[in-house]
Amino acid sequence: MTPHELYQRPGFLLRRMHQIAAAVFENACADLGLTTGQYGVLVVVSSEPGIDQTRLARALAFDKVTVMRVLRGLEERGLLDRVSSGRQKTLALTVAGHELLGQARTRAEAASRRLMSPLDSADQAQLVRLLQTLANGLADEARAPFVPLQR
């Protein structure tokens, strides 16, 4: 295999796009000190107050180590409370967490638009459909389960 062939492989391109997507988001939220993973946790916990750590991890397809690391960081910043409830810990955003999420939403939307800006609207929709098809078709290969929250 040549480097040129490597650069055409879906795995290489997906990894590269993940790097770019994270950079675009983190640049948009730099002054907030927020990563994509932290933003995802804030969004899910905001929409599901009292969610437990296991459901949160599945809703974001995080493994246990990742979810614990992200939660610890948000808790240390005073953005999230973890409350023991029997064997589980339930989660809720603090007032500061809600405020930061409010500031981040507009920036996250702008980052998403920036990420998709090289594509026209039809190509954007097609890209999302293709990525969903790949993710759904290969879900059993994932290291962490994904169980989306129900509306």
Angle at 25 between CA 123 and CA 8, to 5 degrees: 50
- Would you say the pTM of this structure is higher than 0.85? yes
Is residue 58 very low, low, confident or very high in pLDDT (cuts 50, 70, 90)? very high
Is residue 84 very low, low, confident or very high in pLDDT (cuts 50, 70, 90)? confident
How many beta carbons lie within 10 A of that of residue 56, not counting itself?
22
| The two three-digit tokens of residue 1, written as one number | 């295999």
DSSP code string of 20-65: HHHHHHHHHTGGGT--HHHHHHHHHHHHSTT-BHHHHHHHHT--HH
86: alpha, beta or left? (left if phi > 0; alpha if psi -120 to 50): left
| The two three-digit tokens of residue 143, written as one number | 């290291």
- Tell me the per-residue pLDDT of 69-78, one tens digit each, with 9 for 90 and over: 999 999 999 9
Percent of the chain with pLDDT over 70: 100
- Tell me the per-residue pLDDT of 89-117, one tens digit each, with 9 for 90 and over: 899 999 999 999 999 999 999 999 999 99
**Rounded average pLDDT over 9-36:** 96
**Rounded average pLDDT over 75-94:** 91
* pLDDT exceeds cutoff 90 at 136: yes
DSSP code string of 89-151: EEEEE-HHHHHHHHHHHHHHHHHHHHHHTTS-HHHHHHHHHHHHHHHHHTGGG-SS---PPP-
**Rounded average pLDDT over 10-19:** 97
* pLDDT exceeds cutoff 80 at 151: no
pLDDT, position 80 = 97
pLDDT, position 85 = 74
User: Distance between CA atoms of 90 and 59, rounded to whole angstroms?
Assistant: 14
